[in-house]
Amino acid sequence: MFRGHSQRSIDPKGRLMLPPEFRDKIMEKSPDGNIMITNFDDCVVAYPFPEWEEIEKSFGKLNMANRKFRDFHRFFISGASPVTLDKQGRILVPPYLRSYAEINKEVILAGVGRKFEIWALSRFEEQRRKMEQDFDEIMDSLAVNGFELRL
CB 35, CB 51: distance < 8 Å: no
pTM: 0.91
Q: Report yes or no on 81 lying in a domain.
A: yes
Q: Report yes or no on 14 lying in a domain.
A: yes
Range of the domain at 29: 5-121
Q: Report yes or no on 151 lying in a domain.
A: no
pLDDT digits (tens, 9 = 90+) for 80-93: 999 999 999 999 99
Q: Report yes or no on 24 lying in a domain.
A: yes
User: How far apart (Å, rounded) are the C-alpha atoms in residues 107 and 124?
Assistant: 8
CATH code, domain carrying 28: 3.40.1550.20
Instruction: Give the Cβ contact number of residue 50 at 10 Å.
Output: 11
Which pLDDT band holds residue 64 (cuts at 50, 70, 90)? confident
Average pLDDT of the residues of the chain: 94
Strand order in the sheet with 43-48: 5-9, 106-111, 116-120, 43-48, 34-40, 81-84
Q: How many domains does the chain have?
A: 1
Helices (H) and strands (E) in the chain, counts: 6, 8
**For residue 66, pLDDT beyond 80:** yes
